[in-house]
Amino acid sequence: MVIPSEVEGSRGATKKAMKAQNYFVYILTNPNRHTVLYIGVTNDLESRASDHSLGRGSVFAKQYNANKLVYFEAFPDPKSAIAREKQLKNWSRKKKEALIGNANPEWRDLFQEMYSVR
Protein backbone atom coordinates (compact mmCIF):
# COMPACT_ATOMS: atom_id res chain seq x y z
CA MET A 1 0.00 0.00 0.00
CA VAL A 2 1.31 3.47 -0.89
CA ILE A 3 0.08 6.62 0.79
CA PRO A 4 0.99 10.19 -0.13
CA SER A 5 3.39 10.68 2.79
CA GLU A 6 5.49 7.80 1.47
CA VAL A 7 5.68 9.35 -1.97
CA GLU A 8 7.32 12.53 -0.61
CA GLY A 9 5.74 14.97 -3.05
CA SER A 10 7.98 14.00 -5.96
CA ARG A 11 6.06 14.13 -9.20
CA GLY A 12 8.15 11.33 -10.66
CA ALA A 13 7.81 9.17 -7.57
CA THR A 14 4.04 9.69 -7.51
CA LYS A 15 3.68 8.72 -11.16
CA LYS A 16 5.93 5.69 -10.56
CA ALA A 17 3.76 4.62 -7.61
CA MET A 18 0.64 5.07 -9.73
CA LYS A 19 2.02 2.76 -12.45
CA ALA A 20 3.36 0.18 -9.98
CA GLN A 21 -0.09 -0.47 -8.47
CA ASN A 22 -3.37 -1.10 -10.21
CA TYR A 23 -6.13 -0.02 -7.82
CA PHE A 24 -6.61 3.11 -5.76
CA VAL A 25 -8.84 4.36 -2.99
CA TYR A 26 -8.95 8.13 -3.05
CA ILE A 27 -10.50 11.02 -1.16
CA LEU A 28 -11.66 14.22 -2.82
CA THR A 29 -12.90 17.39 -1.22
CA ASN A 30 -14.23 20.71 -2.42
CA PRO A 31 -11.58 23.42 -2.89
CA ASN A 32 -11.09 26.03 -0.16
CA ARG A 33 -13.89 25.02 2.21
CA HIS A 34 -13.28 21.25 2.62
CA THR A 35 -16.87 20.72 3.70
CA VAL A 36 -17.36 17.56 1.63
CA LEU A 37 -15.35 14.34 1.58
CA TYR A 38 -15.89 11.95 -1.32
CA ILE A 39 -14.30 8.49 -1.22
CA GLY A 40 -13.94 6.44 -4.37
CA VAL A 41 -12.05 3.52 -5.88
CA THR A 42 -10.53 3.26 -9.34
CA ASN A 43 -7.96 1.34 -11.36
CA ASP A 44 -6.76 4.56 -13.05
CA LEU A 45 -6.24 7.37 -10.55
CA GLU A 46 -4.90 9.80 -13.14
CA SER A 47 -7.91 9.44 -15.41
CA ARG A 48 -10.45 9.40 -12.58
CA ALA A 49 -9.00 12.52 -10.93
CA SER A 50 -9.06 14.24 -14.30
CA ASP A 51 -12.70 13.22 -14.81
CA HIS A 52 -13.64 14.69 -11.43
CA SER A 53 -11.76 17.94 -12.10
CA LEU A 54 -13.61 18.30 -15.42
CA GLY A 55 -17.01 17.64 -13.82
CA ARG A 56 -17.33 14.15 -15.33
CA GLY A 57 -16.98 12.25 -12.05
CA SER A 58 -19.80 10.95 -9.89
CA VAL A 59 -23.05 12.88 -9.56
CA PHE A 60 -22.32 13.46 -5.86
CA ALA A 61 -18.81 14.79 -6.49
CA LYS A 62 -20.08 17.05 -9.26
CA GLN A 63 -22.98 18.36 -7.18
CA TYR A 64 -20.69 19.33 -4.30
CA ASN A 65 -17.69 20.38 -6.41
CA ALA A 66 -15.51 17.66 -4.86
CA ASN A 67 -12.59 17.65 -7.27
CA LYS A 68 -9.53 18.26 -5.10
CA LEU A 69 -7.53 15.04 -4.56
CA VAL A 70 -6.25 15.15 -0.97
CA TYR A 71 -5.49 11.50 -0.26
CA PHE A 72 -5.00 8.16 -1.95
CA GLU A 73 -3.80 4.64 -1.24
CA ALA A 74 -2.68 2.07 -3.82
CA PHE A 75 -3.54 -1.64 -3.78
CA PRO A 76 -2.43 -4.62 -5.88
CA ASP A 77 -5.96 -6.00 -6.35
CA PRO A 78 -9.54 -4.73 -6.55
CA LYS A 79 -10.81 -6.75 -3.60
CA SER A 80 -8.39 -5.04 -1.19
CA ALA A 81 -9.19 -1.60 -2.60
CA ILE A 82 -12.94 -2.10 -2.33
CA ALA A 83 -12.63 -3.40 1.24
CA ARG A 84 -10.60 -0.31 2.21
CA GLU A 85 -13.09 2.01 0.49
CA LYS A 86 -15.93 0.47 2.50
CA GLN A 87 -13.90 0.75 5.70
CA LEU A 88 -13.14 4.44 5.13
CA LYS A 89 -16.76 5.22 4.23
CA ASN A 90 -17.80 3.87 7.64
CA TRP A 91 -15.33 6.05 9.52
CA SER A 92 -16.39 9.26 11.25
CA ARG A 93 -15.60 12.60 9.64
CA LYS A 94 -13.05 13.27 12.39
CA LYS A 95 -11.20 10.03 11.72
CA LYS A 96 -11.13 10.70 7.95
CA GLU A 97 -9.77 14.21 8.57
CA ALA A 98 -7.03 12.76 10.80
CA LEU A 99 -6.06 10.27 8.09
CA ILE A 100 -5.79 13.04 5.50
CA GLY A 101 -4.05 15.39 7.94
CA ASN A 102 -1.36 12.83 8.81
CA ALA A 103 -0.51 12.20 5.14
CA ASN A 104 -1.23 15.65 3.71
CA PRO A 105 -1.26 18.26 6.54
CA GLU A 106 -1.89 21.23 4.23
CA TRP A 107 -4.61 19.40 2.31
CA ARG A 108 -2.72 20.17 -0.91
CA ASP A 109 -4.27 19.14 -4.23
CA LEU A 110 -2.21 16.03 -5.00
CA PHE A 111 -3.50 15.84 -8.56
CA GLN A 112 -2.23 19.34 -9.34
CA GLU A 113 1.10 18.54 -7.72
CA MET A 114 1.49 15.45 -9.87
CA TYR A 115 1.22 17.52 -13.03
CA SER A 116 2.67 20.91 -12.08
CA VAL A 117 5.77 22.09 -13.86
CA ARG A 118 8.75 22.30 -11.55
d(CA 97, CA 59): 23
In CATH, what class is 4-115? alpha beta
Check residue 90 and give its pLDDT.
Answer: 98
Check residue 76 and give its pLDDT.
Answer: 94
- DSSP string across 18-37: HHH-SEEEEEEE-TTT---E
pLDDT, averaged in runs of 10, over the chain (118 residues): 43 51 89 90 80 67 80 94 97 97 94 68
d(CA 3, CA 71): 7
Check residue 8 and give its pLDDT.
Answer: 43
Check residue 15 and give its pLDDT.
Answer: 53
3-state secondary structure of 108: coil
